[in-house]
Structure formats: C-alpha cells, structure tokens
Chains A and B, each alone.
Chain A
Amino acid sequence: MEFELGAIIVIVLIILALALSFSIGANDETPAPLAAAGTIKFKAVLILGGAGLAIGTIFLSQGVASLVGEGILGPGIKYSVFMLLAVLISSILWLIIGSLAGIPLSSTHALIGSIVGVVIVYALFSGGIDVITALNWEKVFLVIISWVITPLAGFLITYILYKIIAKFFISKSKGITDIENSERKFAWMLLIAVFAASVWTGANSAEALGILYGLYSNDSLTIEMYYLFVVICGIFAFLGIYFAGRFVIKNLASQMTDARPSDGFILQISASIILAIATIFSVPISHSHVIVFSIIGLNVAQKKDIDYKGIGKMSLFWILTFPIAAIVAGLLYFGFISFGMV
C-alpha cells in the first residue's frame, strides 16, 4: 500500500512537472515585442519562442535543475516524494495568490522558498538531522543574493545599453522615416534577441526540471527516464507557447503597437545576458523580476515617469514570496507527517 501511494505520487509529480512546463510556455511573454514589431508572421513568432524555450529546457537546463533537485540540499539529504509534493503545492498556491493580486510573482522564488521550508520541517521532525546541515546554506545564500543582484543588473545593463544605442544609433535618426528605417533593422535584431532570451529562459526555468531531478536523485526515476522527461518538458513548453501562450503574447503585442523594436531589443538582450550568466553559474533566478527592473532602467534612461508606489507594492510581494512559500510548504509537509503519510 505504501509503495503504491509513493508510485502514485511520483506519477502525480511527473504530471505536475509536465503541466508546469506547459504553463511556463503558456505564460512566457518573451516573444511579445517581436509579435508587436510584425517582423515575421505571428505563427512564426510562436514557433521561434517555443523552439527557443524547448532548446533551452532540453540542452541547457542541467545545471539549474541539479541545483534545485539536489545541490541545494545538505550532504546525505534526498527529497522524498511527499517533500516534492509539498514544494509543488506550496509554489502553485503562492503563484495563484500572486495572480489574483495582479502581481508578477516569481515561481523560482516560490520554489526555492518552499524547498527551504520543507527541508527545515523535515530536519526538525526526522530526528538526528541538523537544520544547519540539512541545507547547503552556501548555495541557498548564493541563490538569494542572485535575486537581489540580477534585477539590479537588469536595471543597470538596460540603462547602459540604451545610452550606448541611443548615442550611436537612435540619435542619428532625426525624422519619422529615419526612425522607421532604423527601427526596421532593430526589428530583425529583435528576432535574434527574442530567440536568445527564450533559450535562456528555458534553460533557467528550474521549477519542473528541479522536481524531475529531485525524483531522479531519490531514485524514483532512472537517468534515461529523467532525460526522457526533460525532452518531454521541452516539448510541453513549446506546446504551452504555441497553444496557450499565443493569447498572452497577442494581448501584450496589441498593447505594444507604439513600442519601438529597439526598446524590445535592449530589454531582451539584457535579460538574455543575465539569464545566461545565472544559468552558467547554475543559479535559478526570476525572469520576471529581471524584466521588470530592465523596464524601469529603460524608463529612467528615457526620462519617463516611473510608478514608484506600484514598484513598492511589487517589491513587498517579492520579498514576502520566499518566507511565505517556506512557511506554507513547511506546514503542508508537517501536515503529511502528522497524518502519518511520511
């Protein structure tokens, strides 16, 4: 009976991981500026974005997935399927709350927070395990510090990139026709930038693959099965963009008809650089936080108004994500323990 329940939960976790991959694609707004620029047909935009996400997921996500699925844990600690279940439920709950509040919360923050909460409860109630050694705190702090550094880097890189591009390219265009011609070139460059950003978004999306890696590291999956599911996750991310993400992208693109491709190019290049560096260092970061701060950097560079009140509210939710996800996940896992399921 115990074995059967564990097996069922493994299947549930795999299904949830695939659903997460699909939803990552479905909520990916990266290709929106390209759709707004109208450089290529809308279907081609979806295919390009989906392909980038799938390529990143399948070929470049190993480092981040291994950190979430194993590296963040202390020596000798492995996830049980109930721990992973608590992590996933807690992450999803917090994201739903964020969506209802209209705040773009980070699924990465929620995931890492949930892992920390679950592992602490596990250490406290398993006996003989020290909370200090249950987690690889060095990695945890590295991840948390990256969450502070990467949005600020997004702000800074975008600001500097805009100033350089404005000085050498945009300022040379003095009339509408000149601007149109110059922006047409940026629209083609945007195509490359969006593809790069999609690839690195896929590579850094730790949620689904981290769970799968956790299943692999606790021997619930063989290495072949793990890679098979990684490929399936990549395909699901592609399908997510193609079948569900189209609505988000179309909606955003329709609001961006006045936006310049050069702005989109700068934002996507900044995001790509930051996501690439984070992925190379195997650190899961928040794509949405980087993009939000990059947009702020662009607005500051263009001397546009900034809604500081809105940013304050958003920042509060961002800071709260980690501890609340940790508490919710911890309580859930405590519930599993209390009901004798673990």
Chain B
Amino acid sequence: MSLLIQTIVNGILVGGLFVTISLGFSLAFGVLDVVDFAVGEWVMLGAFAGVACVSWLGVDPIPMLPVVFVVFATLGWLVAPLIYRVRTSRYARPALMALAFTFGVATFARGTMLTSFGFDPRTVDIGVVHGTITIGSLHIPALRLAGFVFAAVATALFMGFLYKTRTGLAVRAVAQDKQNAGLMGINVKRISSLVYALYAGLTAMAGVLIGGIYSITAQDGPRYTLLAFFVVVLAGLGSVGGVLVAGLLLGVLQAVVTVYVSADYTLAIVFAVLFVILIVSPQGILRRGAA
C-alpha cells in the first residue's frame, strides 16, 4: 500500500513538469494553429543547456534558470516568424506544411546535438537540491519536489499572465479567433511570436529539471514530444484547463506502469492509451471548451 502511495506521489511530482511543457505547447497550438513537433527537442536542448552550465561554466543550473529562459525565448522569438510565415502562406495546405516545417526544425536540432554530443546519456548535476525528504513512510527526492514547485510557480505565473494582463487577454483573443482579434487591433504576428518565445523558454527550463531527474540523450526529443502530445490529446488540443489534469494523470500513469509492469512497456502502454483516446474521443476526454 505504501508502495502505491509512494508511486502515485512520485508520479504527481513529475507530472507537474509535464504540465509546464504541455501548457506552452497547447497554447502555441491555439495561437499559431500549428502542432509543434519540436516540443521534445526544446526539452532536450534545455537539458543540455543544464549540462553545459555544470560542465563548461561550473555553475549550478538552478540559479541559471532565468538565463536559460532568456536564451531559449530568444531562439523561439527567432523561429516563430518562420512558422507564422508558412502557416499564413499561400500554399495548398498551410497547416500540413507548417507541421512539416516544425518537423524539419526538430530533426535539425536532434541531428546537430547527436553530431556534437553523441548518443551518451547525460544527467544535469543539480548540487543545490539533493537528498530525500522523509514523511512517515514516504520518501520524496528533494529534486522531484523542487521540480514540482518550479512547475507550480511557472504554471501559476503563466496563468496569471494569461488571465490577468491585457497582453494575456490579447493572447486568448488570438487563440479564439485570429481574424476578429486582428480587427480589434491586435498584432497577431507579434502575439504569435511572443507566445512561441514564452513556450520555448518555459519548456527549456522544464528540460533542465527533467535532465536532473532522468538522464537524457540527444535522441530523447521525440519521446517528450509524444508525452506532450499525450497530455494535450487527453486534454483536447487548445484546452488549457484540461492540461493541468492530464499532465498529472500522465505522470501517475507512467510511474505506475514503471513500478508495476516494467519500464520497457511504459511508452507502449502510454501509446496504446493515447491511441484508444484518439479513436474514442478525438476532442479529448477532459475538454470543457478552449482557453
């Protein structure tokens, strides 16, 4: 029984990070109308940025998180106009071409990192947070707790931005209806770039923590892309509220399968569930309307 509770707690703690990743991903879909295949690569690049902090600069990655955010937000700011350009282009199928574009960006990132760093797994050495916290029979690794706290703060800030500021209002307007948002004087292109930049920075920061909890290799990007897909499909593409529940569910599902079945089958079972959900309810089982 205590093993079950332990497993569920571990799952929820990691699930927080999945929420952070998927939230930006979901919003980027809503605003840009593009399913971003590069989401897992942002996680992977973030983790490698964490590795670089430790081994090249010799500083702990946790205080460097804001720097990671700025660097990746800048990268995202640079990529976003290209996606926007393809999405609004005069091609026959702009949505599919934009999908192919992000796929190309993801493949480029993976190939470059594989060439530079090879296939060796790496772990981000986070020295500031270590050890375990024991509550009764529960053993909580401090790093996972830190990851969850980070995710909670990041999510709260993000939601605050989305629902309490005028720019957030503009973002939600664009996600609902681009044409009318444009008519209301919102610069759709700039909002799209802003959202993509925020999402890239946020995802990379989560990547640093994921790289501390699990080891990561340069080819792990697609794995996290699929996990992010799982969350947003469960939540319904474009639904922000559902992501909170779905991300935590994924964390628990992954932890339970790893402990009670086998780590070899984690992805297979996650995919099987994803597949069934897509067929039974393509709009997501938690959907309660878009943001």
A and B interact physically: no
B positions within 8 Å CB-CB of A: none
